[in-house]
Amino acid sequence: MLKKFFPLLILSIMLLCSCSPSNSLVFHQEKKVSAQVFQPIPADFIPRKLTVLAAGDSLTQGVGDSTDQGGYLPYLKSMLEKDKGVQEVDFYNYGVKGNRTTQLLKRLQAPKIKPILKQSNLVIITIGGNDIMKIVKDNISDLQLSDFLKEKESYRSHLTQIFDVIFKENPNASIVLVGVYNPFSKWFSDIKEMDQIVAEWNQIGQSVVNQYSLSYFVSIGDLFLNADEDVLYTDNFHPNDKGYKLMAERLNEALANQVLPDLEKKAYTVSTEEN
């Protein structure tokens, strides 16, 4: 009988010993997980291919360009591809001479452009000059400063709709809006306020840009106002080759200093552990 209960006795003793203070259960220590910190990879770590949609008016089409290659675009392409963070740039030129904001808005929603818009990293827009010209033509017999002031809010509304369409189709795209310059002085020298009108159009552009992330305004007015050499085509309205090259240089400066670094921060991050 004793032999039968001996194993049970031994087991009971072991259980009692395990519950004593000197032999308390020891739990595995919880593994400490360090916080994740995301840091941008240097822009030249993985040279990338950029898809750029250029849309707008004659400045994008390249009217005045003697090579008929697209105005500022070939210059900008060459400059960007020298950047160590850029492997290749594909430009899609959808500039149309005479386009105003209302016309660009419609074209951005067209089946031909939509697929390119969806895959673009960057959208560069030149627009606004023809909106000013329409006001001039509509009021040519008695043009007043008030005629321009009345159209300011319409311009703002159309520009805002353009940005909304772009971000609806591609919320990851960056947008660069190129400012309007003043080539009107030769044709409308009697309108002394033309510089003021152009400045106000640019202020509207800047204010619209400020409402959106990854959006930038690039001013080019001074390139044509303070030029040391002739930068306009023979029509005294559009840039010539030199003018387009200056535009490309200004755009490249803005892209290198702000736009591309912001794109890289969004596209590439690396997770590292804090020590």
Q: What is the CATH number of the domain that holds 235?
A: 3.40.50.1110
Residue 251 lies in a domain: yes
pLDDT of the chain, 275 residues: tens digit per residue:
444 444 444 444 444 444 444 443 343 444 444 455 555 555 455 667 899 999 999 999 999 999 988 999 999 999 999 987 888 999 999 999 999 999 999 999 999 999 999 999 999 999 999 999 898 888 877 777 788 888 899 999 999 999 999 999 999 999 999 999 988 766 666 666 788 889 999 999 999 999 999 999 999 999 988 777 889 998 888 999 999 999 999 999 999 998 988 887 765 443 333 33
Are the C-beta atoms of residues 247 and 223 closer than 8 Å to each other? yes
Residue 21 lies in a domain: no
Please give the model's pTM, rounded to 2 decimal places.
0.78
Tell me what pLDDT residue 22 has: 42
Residue 30 lies in a domain: no
Return d(Cα 59, Cα 176) in angstroms, integer.
14
Return d(Cα 64, Cα 124) in angstroms, integer.
19
Residue 173 lies in a domain: yes
Residue 10 lies in a domain: no
Question: 164, 210, 176, 155: which is closest to 72 by C-alpha?
Answer: 176
Residue 156 lies in a domain: yes
Those residues with Cβ within 8 angstroms of residue 252's Cβ, 6 or more apart along the chain or in another chain: 76, 79, 80
Return d(Cα 162, Cα 170) in angstroms, integer.
12
Tell me what pLDDT residue 144 has: 77
Q: CB count, 10 Å around CB of 76? A: 25
Return d(Cα 66, Cα 240) in angstroms, integer.
7
Residue 220 lies in a domain: yes
Residue 12 lies in a domain: no
The number of folded domains in the chain is: 1
